[in-house]
Structure 1
């Protein structure tokens, strides 16, 4: 994600990125807990680090507190 710019971030980008973090290829319900799709803590830690590289501070704890696409996008959008 080192070439990703803040301006490229979008809900669609987030859904695609999370889709690569989970094992099942399926449509993700934006309000559904991502753990139910197979998301694990290592993926969340990695994602937190990727966000930090583009200047978005979102800690593992913040992401793990409410692991849904909706909650993650709200966090990212608030910190852009």
Structure 2
């Protein structure tokens, strides 16, 4: 199975899926904890994105819970 390439839209879609929201309901600057994000959901996303070839840790995401901050971090680690 080929690795998926992460994009801002795919990260938003993954996040919406674990939060049971529509992607358009998540603004890039939203505090994701306020939208229902918890540690179990963060770990689920970490595993999903690691499977896509992006090395990221739970702590890195938990320290900055916004889509904008996550994309800033993830986009620097995309597989070449």
- TM bin, normalised by shorter chain, reads 0.7 to 0.9
Q: How does 1:23-62 map to 2 (within 5 A)?
A: 23-25=20-22, 27-62=25-60
Q: Residue 14 of structure 2 aligns with which residue? A: 17
TM-score, structure 1 normalization: 0.84
> Structure 1: any 5+ residue segments left out of the alignment?
none
> 2:61·2:70 contact (CA, 8 Å) conserved in 1?
yes
RMSD over aligned Cα atoms: 1.7
- Aligned partners of 1:65 and 1:55: how far apart in 2? 21
**How far apart are residue 23 of structure 1 and its match?**
3.7
| Divergent runs of 4+, >6 A | none
**How many positions carry a matched residue from both structures?**
77
Which stretches in structure 2 are left out of the alignment for 5+ residues? none
Change (3 A) 1:3 1:47: farther
Q: Which residue of 2 aligns with 1:79?
A: 77
| Structure 1 residue 24 displacement after superposition | 4.5
